[in-house]
Amino acid sequence: MDTILVVNAGSSSVKFQVFALDGDGPIRRQLKGQVDGIGTLPRLRATGSNGETLADFGYSLERVADVPAALLVAGSWLREEHRVVPIAIGHRVVHGGPDYDRPVLIDHSVVARLERLIPLAPLHQPHNLASIKTVLASLPELPQVACFDTAFHRGHDDVADCYAIPYQLHEEGVRRYGFHGLSYEYIAKTLPTLVPEVADGRVIVAHLGSGASMCALRGGRSVESTMGFTALDGLPMGTRPGQIDPGVVLYLMTVKGMNPADAQKFLYRDCGLKGLSGISNDMRELQSSSDPRAAFAVRYFEYRVGLCAGMLAAALGGVDAFVFTAGIGENSATIRAGIAERLAWLGVSLDEKDNAKHALKISQADSRIPVYVIPTDEERMIAEHTLSVLWSKRPNVGRERAL
């Protein structure tokens, strides 16, 4: 059976999923896994479609010292243990810049363009590209497709995407891009099936995880996002500050003596929940801590989500529904409740029992704005995009065996 391999490479892990193609029918997830602890204690873990354990074993540091090595280990395991030989690989790429507003088939010129965007996504882009270059070097004939976190937001009005700086810089690519687009695209695609009564309306989606942002959807299209030129903007995150006065950065460099590299490391790795609490970047640890600084970090996070909801409501001219998604949004009933309290002015009223059960709809029947919890699936979105790009080039790929 033909398969699509989806790869999401980070600094210390390579996540992967395998999707099977059933002719003209929907793709089907076969397995998912990751190689984590890269550079420290490498370990391969994988589960099947029903959650059964397929792999859980470690490797020596010498064998899995970096992302390319981790990808090769995962590829060997998939090929040797499960006979997975994909017809294509789909990659999550965080930043597509001004050049890419849709998924694209990868070649060396695409890689060169994306490498120029590394300063705009230094935590993600180098590792995304490392996995792509590994496959280009070892399997140059295997189609690879880049799927961008920025692409879904590229239809914004100029008034939403411009900064108040000389317009020449905007034309050079200094503009608001928005991120987590694959997640928002999946939610927008799912709404007509799950909650068709709001799918064409004005919907705020909160993608709340270690990386966090919010998006305003109108008729299933992104019209505004809390993130901008880079993934530092908007909500506070695990280690990133979110919205910050540019004067703070100038202060760090002129008074505190930080050079650009120091400032970049500080803003990407030492701020956010980690910086506020002085304890952890993990919301679960903060919620279980008795330290007042941990409680303050949680309260600050909820407060900023509430503020950004007001901004997005203004962009939409009203709100017809609110959706929680991603790790924190899908799993933390207490965070959802805290945010809902700050949205009471919009008419939000949660149902405590449904919220505790992580139900699809967690608002009360008389809540003026319905509130939903919808698990995201960025990997499925990447697999579908990868298949679409292949079909545009070779219409019968993945269909031959079903015909």
Grouping H, G, I as helix, E, B as strand and the rest as coil, residue 378 is helix
Q: What share of the chain is helix, strand, coil (3-state, %, to 5)?
A: 40, 20, 40
Of the residues 22, 101, 107, 149, only one is catalytic, namely 149
Question: Tell me, what amino acid is at 230?
Answer: T
CA 119 to chain centre: 18
CA-to-CA separations, 35 to 39, 80, 94, 188, 259, in angstroms, rounded: 11, 16, 19, 30, 34
Is 24 labeled as catalytic in the residue annotation?
Answer: no
Q: Residue 214's beta-bridge partner residues? A: 206
End-to-end CA distance of the chain: 13
Which pair of structure tokens corresponds to residue 308? 């950004």
Give yes or no for a contact between 156 and 117, defined as CB atoms under 8 angstroms apart.
no
Residue 305: burial class (beta carbons within 10 Å; 0-12, 13-18, 19+): buried
Q: Residue 332's beta-bridge partner residues? A: none
Catalytic positions, please? 149
